[in-house]
């Protein structure tokens, strides 16, 4: 039974202002990067053209933070009141929240920072007449000093002893490296969203990031990531009645292990929005493996009435009233940018795969890059192996060639198109390596190149586009003369029963045939009975691994990729020259010949100049 003393201690009462301030500060100021973010936003709102962030660390963590700007500054009265909670010059009435044009507006940042640290502000208002600046020192929310001081126009805020009075929060801070990484990301995002402003970030006196104020996002990308990185960027532009998209996306070769290189700003405000990040990822489709992410820098100018930035105290997230239209426009604009460039993986210096532009050349007559003799060589160290197709094949060889021909015929319809629809220049087949790679000679815009094609990845891409086309046309299934009865484990059966409609849309028609058993009555038109059964089991495993968290679009893509993989010509399959030529021709007519559905490259090129360099030729 509860004692009278405990009931008394549980009586509802009003918290002290100091306690309220510390609780509120915890919502806004989570770590040193939060301080940097809030103060940089204040500098942006002060119309600064130059912002300097100085970080000092020691063995105990981030010790000091200084942010200086050349903005319009404050007079003495405004400087003092700016540390009061909910003191702001950004809004005056509730209706202003619907059209916020500034970075800050809640009036919580300075009060929250001052509540958990020692803050020294020196500010001087930009005026025509000479005037003194103001110095204010606040520790733990209490004003320690206020005095006039000589200072340049703008504001400098020095923060130290962060979380000195909230030891629990300080205890959960990470290493200096981790905390500085978060700070770097704040400045990185702010600089990309505001390319007309100069940013400088120093750590213990050393410059970590420095940008100019050219107003060009590409220049800022150059400052932050380097010239070689910036040279690969592809412009993204789109204009609609209520929004405008500007920025750059990177080719698939510059992918990332996570979504941190997808940096999006809305009306020059760096934001995190899962739907927008997913839209960018969706735009790349099968150009990237599922576990990899693109590199993309976008600034979206949008009607302020359709965006809500008042979602989180730290203004981390935004919401949109026309989210579907916005995400679809991002997908369309990024895809259009990628489609504007014919991409080919090139083997570059330093053994790095880079992507470059190729142009379609109609002239099929070209000077041979490699001399290939049709006569038997005098000396052949590989005399036990030959790529020459013999006239008298074994039954196994005949069956293999027959199966390959059948697969190429099944994908021929998907590749039918006009000559002008080719995505690749003409490639002359030279031969096959290890029954897996096709070696070709391609006419480039500058010089001829050797292109090595992964035959499985290439045919997988062809079959994938065929699967998607047939699904959209409705001609996806072929009925089996004799249904295949397949038993499943209980977990597999449960996953199957939840996705019967989805599988039917992909060409599989199943009926329950007893406990945890199904009768497979139809399979996708590009699969036979045996392949259809094996593919179905692989799809069920994918459904189990992904669980219910996967979206419908991701599930459809996975199923289509699995079907294409099973139907494609396999590595280790010997091809005739005619079959290789048909495969290369079909690949050149696909919408995206550069990668398989899983994001792996279908081909890699070696320019003659690169080969000369590798062989130390001048």
Token code pair at residue 550: 């996967």
Q: Residue 195: left if φ>0, alpha if ψ -120 to 50, beta else—which one?
A: alpha
**Overall number of domains in the chain:** 3
Q: How many C-beta neighbours within 10 Å does residue 413 have?
A: 11
* Domain's final residue, options 169, 194, 209: 209
Amino acid 201: pLDDT: 97
Residue that terminates a domain, selected from 176, 209, 242: 209
Going by pLDDT thresholds of 50, 70 and 90, the confidence category of residue 154 is very high
CATH number of the domain residue 296 falls in:
3.30.230.10
Over range 356-376, report the average pLDDT: 45
Domain range for 280 is 232-341
- pLDDT attached to residue 340: 82
Above 50 in pLDDT, residue 365?
no
Average pLDDT over residues 274-297: 90
Q: Do 318 and 405 fall within a single domain?
A: no
* pLDDT over 60 at 243, yes or no: yes
Same domain for 189 and 49, yes or no, is yes
- pLDDT-derived band at 137 (thresholds 50, 70, 90) equals very high
Same domain, 70 and 173: yes
pLDDT (0 to 100) of residue 396: 44
Residue 221 lies in a domain: no
Residue 389 resides in a domain:
no
CATH number for the domain spanning 35: value is: 3.30.565.10
- In terms of domains, do 400 and 531 share one? yes
Lowest mean pLDDT segment, chosen from 99-103, 142-146, 395-399: 395-399
CA gap 476, 453 in Å, rounded: 28
State what percent of residues in the chain have pLDDT above 90.
37
Q: Does 384 score more than 80 pLDDT?
A: no
Q: Region 522-530: what's the mean pLDDT?
A: 76
pLDDT at position 73: 93
Q: Residue 297's beta-bridge partner residues?
A: 248, 263
Q: How far apart are the first and last CA of the chain?
A: 93
Q: Indicate the range of 24-38, 203-217, 245-259, 555-569 predicted with least confidence.
A: 24-38
Q: Are residues 182 and 61 in the same domain?
A: yes
Residues 6+ apart with CB under 8 A from 248: 217, 218, 221, 233, 234, 235, 236, 296, 297
List the CATH number of the domain containing 615.
3.30.1370.100
**Residue 601 contacts residue 457 (beta carbons within 8 Å):** yes
Q: State the average pLDDT for the chain.
A: 81
pLDDT of amino acid 347 = 55
Per-residue tokens: 520: 């497979």
Q: Confirm whether 58 is domain-assigned.
A: yes
Quick one: how far is CA 473 from the chain centroid?
A: 31
pLDDT class of 298 with cuts at 50, 70, 90:
very high
- Angle between helix 455-473 and 577-588 (nearest 10): 50
Residue 137 exposed, middle or buried by CB count within 10 Å (0-12, 13-18, 19+): middle
Q: Beta strand pairing status for 133-139 and 118-124? A: antiparallel
Average pLDDT over residues 531-547: 77
Q: How confident is the model at residue 363 (pLDDT cuts 50, 70, 90)?
A: very low
Q: How confident is the model at residue 372 (pLDDT cuts 50, 70, 90)?
A: very low
User: Quick one: tokens of 54?
Assistant: 């100085």
Quote the radius of gyration of the chain (alpha carbons, Å): 32
Quickly list DSSP for 226-262: -HHHHHT-EEEEEE-SSEEEEEEE--GGG-BSSGGGE
Asked if pLDDT for residue 350 goes beyond 50, the answer is no
Instruction: Let me know whether 150 and 250 are in one domain.
Output: no
598-609 core/surface letters (b: 16 or more CB in 10 A; e: else): bbbbbbbbbbbe
Same domain flag for 281 and 426: no
Higher pLDDT, 541 or 415: 541
Residue 591 lies in a domain: yes
Residue 227 lies inside a defined structural domain of this protein: no
Q: Are strands 477-487 and 517-524 parallel, antiparallel or unpaired?
A: antiparallel
Query: In terms of domains, do 44 and 104 share one?
Result: yes
159 pLDDT more than 70: yes
Where is 579: in which H helix or E strand? helix 577-588
Express each pLDDT in 99-109 by its tens digit.
Answer: 555 665 556 78
Query: Do 539 and 614 sit in the same domain of this protein?
Result: yes
Q: In what order do the strands lie in the sheet with 477-487?
A: 477-487, 517-524, 509-512
Residue 377 lies in a domain: no
Contacting residues for 532 by C-beta, under 8 A, at least 6 apart: 480, 484, 508, 520, 523, 524
Using the structure block, give the residue that is written with the tokens 């484990």: 489
The residue ranking higher by pLDDT, 574 or 5, is 574
Q: Does residue 550 lie in a domain region?
A: yes
pLDDT exceeds 70 at position 35: yes
User: SS3 of 197, please?
Assistant: coil
476 compared with 220, residue with greater pLDDT: 220
pLDDT (mean) for 147-167? 93
* pLDDT value for 320: 85
Q: Is the pLDDT of residue 518 over 70?
A: yes
Higher pLDDT, 315 or 507: 507
Among the listed ranges 97-111, 173-187, 229-243, which one has the minimum average pLDDT value? Answer: 97-111
Of 209, 242, 273, the residue at which a domain comes to its end is: 209
CA distance 436 to 573: 7
Q: Tell me the mean pLDDT in the region 93-98.
A: 53
| pLDDT at position 547 | 58
Q: Which residue in this structure is represented by tokens 């599930």? A: 555
180 and 253, same structural domain? no
pLDDT at 304: 81
Do 82 and 104 meet the contact criterion of CB atoms below 8 Å apart?
A: no
pLDDT at 58 over 90: yes
Only one residue has tokens 């739907």, namely 275
- Per mean pLDDT, which range of 225-234, 285-294, 349-358 is the poorest? 349-358
Cα–Cα distance list, 43 to 67, 77, 343, 544, 609 (Å): 9, 18, 41, 50, 50
Given a cut of 80, is residue 221 above it in pLDDT? Answer: yes
214 found inside a domain:
no
Give the pLDDT of residue 18: 63
The segment with the largest mean pLDDT, out of 16-20, 164-168, 243-247, is 243-247
In the structure, what pLDDT confidence band is assigned to residue 432 with cuts at 50, 70 and 90? very high
- Tens of pLDDT, residue by residue over 558-595, are 888 888 888 889 998 999 999 999 999 999 989 889 89
Residue 117 sits in the same domain as residue 179? yes
pLDDT of residue 182: 94
Predicted confidence (pLDDT) per residue in 450-481, tens digit: 999 999 999 999 989 888 887 777 667 888 88
Tell me the percentage of the chain whose pLDDT exceeds 70.
Answer: 77
Report the distance separating Cα 618 and Cα 613, nearest Å. Answer: 7
pLDDT tens digit sequence for 439-450: 999 876 667 889
Digit-coded pLDDT (tens) for 122-132: 999 988 888 89
Query: Residues 6 or more apart from 394 whose CB is under 8 A from it?
Result: none
At 508 the pLDDT is 87
176 with 250, same domain: the answer is no
């Amino acid at each position: 039974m509860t004692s009278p003393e405990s009931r008394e201690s549980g009586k509802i009462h009003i918290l002290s202002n100091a306690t309220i301030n510390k609780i509120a500060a915890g919502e806004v100021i989570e770590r040193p990067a939060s301080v940097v973010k809030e103060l940089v936003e204040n500098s942006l709102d002060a119309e600064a053209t130059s912002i300097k962030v100085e970080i000092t660390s020691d063995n105990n963590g981030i010790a000091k933070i200084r942010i200086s700007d050349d903005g319009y500054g404050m007079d003495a009265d405004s400087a003092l009141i700016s540390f009061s909670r909910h003191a702001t010059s950004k809004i005056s009435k509730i209706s202003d929240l619907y059209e916020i044009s500034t970075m800050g507006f809640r009036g919580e940042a300075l009060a929250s920072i001052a509540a958990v640290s020692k803050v020294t502000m020196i500010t001087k208002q930009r005026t025509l007449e000479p005037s003194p600046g103001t110095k204010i020192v606040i520790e733990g929310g209490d004003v320690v000093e206020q005095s006039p001081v000589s200072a340049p126009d703008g504001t400098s805020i020095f923060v130290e002893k962060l979380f000195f009075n909230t030891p629990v929060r300080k205890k959960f801070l990470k290493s200096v490296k981790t905390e500085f990484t978060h700070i770097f990301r704040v400045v990185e995002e702010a600089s990309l969203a505001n390319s007309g402003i100069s940013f400088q970030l120093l750590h213990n006196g050393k410059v970590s990031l420095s940008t100019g104020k050219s107003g060009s996002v590409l220049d800022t990308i150059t400052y932050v990531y380097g010239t070689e990185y910036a040279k690969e960027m592809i412009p993204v532009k789109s204009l609609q009645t209520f929004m405008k998209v500007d920025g750059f996306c990177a080719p698939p070769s510059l992918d990332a292990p996570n979504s941190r290189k997808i940096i999006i700003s809305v009306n020059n405000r760096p934001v995190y929005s899962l739907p927008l990040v997913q839209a960018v990822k969706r735009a790349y489709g099968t150009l990237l493996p599922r576990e990899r992410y693109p590199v993309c820098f976008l600034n979206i100018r949008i009607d302020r009435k359709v965006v809500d930035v008042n979602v989180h105290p730290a203004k981390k997230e935004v919401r949109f009233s026309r989210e579907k239209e916005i995400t679809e426009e991002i997908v369309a604009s990024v895809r259009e940018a990628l489609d504007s460039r014919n991409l080919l993986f090139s083997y570059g210096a330093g053994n790095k795969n880079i992507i470059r532009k190729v142009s379609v050349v109609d002239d099929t007559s070209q000077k041979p890059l490699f001399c290939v003799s049709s006569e038997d060589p005098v000396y052949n160290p590989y005399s036990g192996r030959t790529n020459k197709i013999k006239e008298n094949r074994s039954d196994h060889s005949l069956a293999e060639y027959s199966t390959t021909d059948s697969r190429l015929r099944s994908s021929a319809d998907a590749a039918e198109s006009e000559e002008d629809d080719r995505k690749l220049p003409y490639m002359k087949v030279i031969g096959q390596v290890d029954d897996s790679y096709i070696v070709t000679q391609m006419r480039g815009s500058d010089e001829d190149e050797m292109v090595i094609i992964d035959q499985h990845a290439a045919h997988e891409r062809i079959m994938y586009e065929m699967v998607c086309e047939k699904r959209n046309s409705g001609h996806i299934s072929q009925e089996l003369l004799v249904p295949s009865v397949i038993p499943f484990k209980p977990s597999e059966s449960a996953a199957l029963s939840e996705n019967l409609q989805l599988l039917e849309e992909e060409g599989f028609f199943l009926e329950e045939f007893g406990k945890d058993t199904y009768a497979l009555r139809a399979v996708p038109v590009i699969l036979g009975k045996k392949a259809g059964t094996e593919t179905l089991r692989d799809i069920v495993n994918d459904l189990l691994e992904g669980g219910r968290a996967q979206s419908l679009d991701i599930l459809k893509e996975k199923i289509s990729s699995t079907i294409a993989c099973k139907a494609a010509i396999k590595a280790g399959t010997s091809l005739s020259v005619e079959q290789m030529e048909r495969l290369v021709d079909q690949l050149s007519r696909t919408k995206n010949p550069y990668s398989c559905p899983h994001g792996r490259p279908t081909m890699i090129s070696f320019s003659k100049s690169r080969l000369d360099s590798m062989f130390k030729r001048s």
